Structure 1
Amino acid sequence: MNAETDSLTRQLAYGAEQMQIALTAEQLSALRAYLDLLQKWNKAYNLTAIREPERMVALHLLDSLAVHPFVQEADNIADVGTGPGLPGIVLAIMNPHKTFTLLDSNGKKTRFLFQARTALGLDNVTIVNDRVEAYHPPRPFDMIVSRAFASLADMTHWCQHLRAEQGCFLAMKGQYPQDEIAAIADKFRVVASDAISVPGVEGERHLLRLLPVNTND
């Protein structure tokens, strides 16, 4: 292991510790392997505008890890607009007994996802190359996660058919999206809002849990 590799592993482990997220040695190794794949494929496939590995750790891996504590109530989870697997691949590594469906319409990104799933041995991941509004799953999802997909109005509109009767939306945002929330207030309500601090990531981060207005918590 060279000096850069070791420093990135330390950054990842320290960041998770700061967020009070416990990583096993196996999980840390898998996350590190995923980072290596992301760096390698990004050179040819332009998967992300972030090029520096230290920034990838903070802005991609740790930012995705921050979602981990909030998916524990669900077993069948969709990550819409997953891109190169953020947060879906990270969450699948952390939660091997949950199933994850990663959706993206970009063929280059889903080709990378197939490679990552094979390389990391993630049998709990299904990859779908399609527009979310055109995809009809074999069974609806307990939770629909979005990290950088669309506005709350578009997310809830395009993904409503994916949600199980008691399922919820989990949306990661920057600043608290008051205007976006107001725009969907007649159909959806925020039942939980958590401000999240991610080591190495400046600015506000908020994680919102949404349910239809006529659904009990």
Structure 2
Amino acid sequence: MNKTDNIFATAQEEVKDFVFDDNVAEVFPDMIKRSVPGYQTMISTIGHLAHEYAQDNSQIYDLGCSLGAATLSIRRKLTAKNCTIIAVDNSQAMVNRCQQHLNNYKSEIKTQVLCDDIMNIDIQDASIVVLNFTLQFISPSQRDTLIKNIYQGMKPGGILIISEKLVFEQANIQSVIDELHLDFKRAQGYSELEISQKRASIENVLIPDTLEQHYKRFEQAGFNKMSQWYQCFNFSSLIAIK
């Protein structure tokens, strides 16, 4: 049974930078559900995209897999033959629980779960690559290199799926969308204290890009077919096809 996220429910003398430790892993499903509008729609659609774009004899990468929601969605919908899913996260706490979740749902599809920095992963023969709310936690100086490495390791016709929190260039638009997101979290039962402390904890850890920055990065890597397919408030999902 998923536990309720109350990590920031009591006042903290010092709000430390957010880390994906055991405490976060334990409440992560509740945290995501109450913080990211449309998350289940994005997860479900990742499965549908995998069904459409996965190629026989290819590899599928879930980079920053957390508890394995995207990997599970892909496994449920995958029909391509002789595929291997490689799920990677740099948090041992997340990887441990991801493996437990995958073990609970039997599948004949070969799946590897690795605890590693995704910058160390050699992408090869990939028909699907997923970065589901992962790139925003990677150092901005490394993001171009990561997307280029992914492009180079993809098969022609392969698809990159990226879900991210966006930032907006126009201050008034940013303000409106920020308030909509705050109202969403309030409606999910988060207190003003929780919202404030979570924001302080994550502001130096999660550094979002604009939609235009994502498109430019795709183009520089070599992609020429790309689109935003989903957005709710400041949360978006994009696709780029090689």
**Superposition TM-score tier, normalisation by shorter sequence:** 0.5 to 0.7
In 1, the alpha carbon distance for the partners of 2:5 and 2:106 equals 20
* Residue number in structure 1 paired with 2:100: 115
1:109 offset after TM fit, Å? 0.7
Supply the AA of the counterpart residue of 1:46: V
State the partner residue of 2:229. Answer: 195
Q: Which structure has the bigger radius of gyration?
A: 2
- Among 80, 90, 93, the residue aligned to 1:105: 90
Q: Which amino acid aligns with 1:163?
A: M
Letter in 2 for 1:131: D
1:189 counterpart SS class: coil
Decide which of 51, 54, 71 is 1:74's aligned counterpart: 54
Larger RCO, structure (CA 8 Å, separation 6 or more):
2
- For these two proteins, the number of residue pairs brought into alignment is 170
Are 1:172 and 2:152 an aligned pair? no
1:95 aligns to what?
Answer: 78
Determine which of 160, 163, 185 is the counterpart of 2:219: 185
- Superposed, which structure 2 residues align to 1:38-77 within 5 Å? 39=2, 45-47=23-25, 51=30, 55=34, 59-71=38-50, 72-75=52-55, 76-77=59-60
Distance 1:46 1:209, change over 3 A: same
Alignment TM-score, normalising by the size of structure 2: 0.56
CA distance in 2, matches of 1:134, 1:149: 15
Q: How far did residue 186 of structure 1 move?
A: 3.4
Aligned amino acid, residue 91 of structure 1:
I
Give 1:115 deviation, angstroms. Answer: 0.8
Residue 131 (1) aligns with residue 117 (2): yes
- 1:112 is displaced (CA, Å) by 0.6
What are the equivalent positions in structure 2 for 1:144-159 lying under 5 Å apart?
Answer: 144-150=129-135, 153-159=144-150
Q: What's 2:18 paired with? A: none
State which of 156, 163, 169 in structure 1 corresponds to 2:154. Answer: 163
Classify the secondary structure of the residue corresponding to 1:70.
helix
Contact 1:132 1:158 in 2 (8 A): no
Instruction: Report the counterpart of residue 3 of structure 1 in structure 2.
Output: none
Q: Sort the Cα spacing of 1:89 and 1:185 in 2 relative to 1 into closer, same or farther, 3 A.
A: same
User: Are the structure 2 counterparts of residues 145 and 52 from structure 1 closer, same or farther at C-alpha, using a change threshold of 3 Å?
Assistant: closer
C-alpha separation between the residues in 2 aligned to 1:147 and 1:128? 16
Q: Which amino acid aligns with 1:101?
A: I
AA at the equivalent of 1:51: D
Q: What's the TM-score once normalised by structure 1's chain length? A: 0.61
| Letter of the structure 2 residue corresponding to residue 193 of structure 1 | S
**Cross-structure match for 2:238:** 207
* Contact 1:80 1:132 (C-alpha < 8 Å) held by counterparts: yes
Aligned equivalents of 1:186, 1:56: Cα separation in 2: 32
